[in-house]
């Protein structure tokens, strides 16, 4: 069992016991005061607990919470700015906010049957469950999405003419140094921005993440280096074999790896050994070499090393990405990645 997990369990059990103890403690256990130096966060007897000790294992969780607070403030600020912008327009007079929005900003929003069916397919909603009620709910959701996008575009036009000064402090993401090593990569080797992905071929969210990364590769070209590292989850019975098969493809040709990569993510229900062999044929591998490589399991240690590297770097789920060392958890939209990549390109 993971030692960190055991220690964490003991600490939380201790805290729960402490909180539930009926006997009141009269003397204060903690004395809050100014730190003697920037790196000290606490002291017990002669032991000084440092900033690095406190934040080491939880720095990503702390950043996520700080980012949520910042985003909450920014969303409220945008709402105030939107109201201010609308009210400054002479056409606003006599209208409510919603009336102005529907008349001048988010007007003529239509959702087609094709869009509804595409959404259902992406969310893997079975055809026999796609009744009128579900379709109406999808339509309402897509309408709200489009309306939000129209509002954002309208606000951006206003702000391009009159930028808003913001005095909030944006939280800084912790930087994790991760070596690309000899892992498969696409793009220019010395690109200014490196995106390292920890992924699992059997994970449905990773399949979505692969499509997002593909969009980023097309958008940024040689400005972006994409590195793939395997992180097969223990409850995905075919993930390890798929990882082995992909690295056997990489052994023959890096381009064949990416073809295998795409094929495996597009056919996640067919990752058994027979299907993996068929995939190897389809992407054009030398089958004698592939069979020898796959049977030897010689890439097993590399896969385990990638997984250990991911765990040590704070990876808790798949897919997890690091953009120049800045962690991005989950298959977030392209624009979220673009925001970070654009910032890194400007440095």
Question: Is the CB of residue 195 less than 8 Å from the CB of residue 323?
Answer: yes
Span 48-83, pLDDT tens digits: 999 888 888 788 889 889 999 999 999 999 999 999
How many Å separate Cα 155 from the centre of its chain?
Answer: 26
Q: Give domain limits for the chain.
A: 76-161, 185-346
Task: Count CA atoms within 13 Å of residue 56 on its CB side.
Answer: 9
- Model confidence, pTM: 0.72
* Listed residue (266, 265, 257, 247) closest to 306, CA to CA: 247
Percent of the residues in the chain that have a pLDDT greater than 70, as a whole number = 92
**pLDDT band for position 127 (cuts 50, 70, 90):** confident
Q: Which two tokens stand for residue 137?
A: 């709910």
Span 211-268, pLDDT tens digits: 999 999 999 999 999 999 999 999 999 999 999 999 999 999 999 999 999 999 999 9
Q: Which two tokens stand for residue 21?
A: 């103890």
Looking at residue 230, its pLDDT comes to 97
According to CATH, the topology of domain 185-346 is Glutaredoxin (3.40.30)
User: Residue 15 pLDDT > 90, yes or no?
Assistant: no
Q: Which two tokens stand for residue 213?
A: 């990364």
**pLDDT band for position 203 (cuts 50, 70, 90):** very high
Q: Which two tokens stand for residue 206?
A: 């990773």
What is the rounded distance in angstroms from the CA atom of residue 54 to the CA atom of residue 44? 14
DSSP 8-state symbol, 108: S
For residues 145-170, give the mean pLDDT.
94
DSSP 8-state symbol, 104: I
Looking at residue 328, its pLDDT comes to 92
What is the rounded distance in angstroms from the CA atom of residue 83 to the CA atom of residue 23? 53
């Amino acid at each position: 069992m993971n030692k960190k997990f055991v220690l964490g369990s003991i600490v939380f059990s201790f805290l729960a016991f402490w909180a539930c103890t009926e006997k009141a403690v009269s003397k204060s256990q903690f004395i809050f005061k100014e730190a003697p130096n920037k790196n000290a966060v606490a002291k017990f007897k002669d032991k000084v607990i440092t900033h690095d000790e406190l934040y080491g294992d939880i720095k990503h969780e702390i950043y996520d919470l700080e980012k949520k607070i910042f985003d909450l403030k920014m969303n409220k600020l945008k709402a105030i700015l939107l109201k201010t912008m609308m009210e400054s327009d002479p056409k606003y007079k006599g209208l409510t906010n919603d009336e102005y929005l529907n008349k001048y900003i988010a007007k003529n929003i239509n959702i087609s049957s094709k869009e509804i069916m595409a959404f259902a397919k992406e969310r893997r909603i079975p055809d026999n469950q796609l009744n009128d009620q579900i379709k109406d709910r999808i339509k309402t959701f897509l309408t709200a999405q489009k309306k939000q996008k129209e509002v954002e575009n309208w606000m951006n036009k206003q702000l391009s003419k009159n930028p808003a000064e913001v005095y909030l402090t944006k939280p800084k993401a912790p930087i994790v140094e991760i070596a690309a090593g000899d892992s498969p990569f696409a793009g220019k080797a010395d690109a200014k921005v490196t995106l390292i992905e920890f992924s699992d071929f059997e994970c449905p969210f990773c399949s979505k993440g692969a499509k997002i990364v593909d969009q980023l590769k097309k958008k940024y070209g040689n400005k972006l280096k994409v590195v793939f590292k395997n992180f097969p989850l223990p409850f995905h019975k075919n993930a390890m074999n798929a990882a082995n098969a992909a690295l056997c493809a990489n052994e023959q040709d890096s381009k064949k790896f990416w073809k295998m990569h795409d094929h495996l993510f597009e056919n996640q229900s067919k990752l058994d050994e027979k299907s993996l062999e068929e995939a190897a044929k389809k992407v054009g591998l030398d089958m004698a070499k592939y069979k020898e490589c796959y049977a030897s399991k010689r890439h097993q240690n590399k896969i385990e090393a990638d997984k250990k590297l991911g765990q040590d770097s704070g990876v808790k789920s798949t897919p997890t990405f690091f953009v120049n060392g800045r962690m991005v958890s989950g298959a977030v939209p392209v624009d979220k990645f673009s925001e970070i990549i654009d910032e890194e390109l400007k440095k």
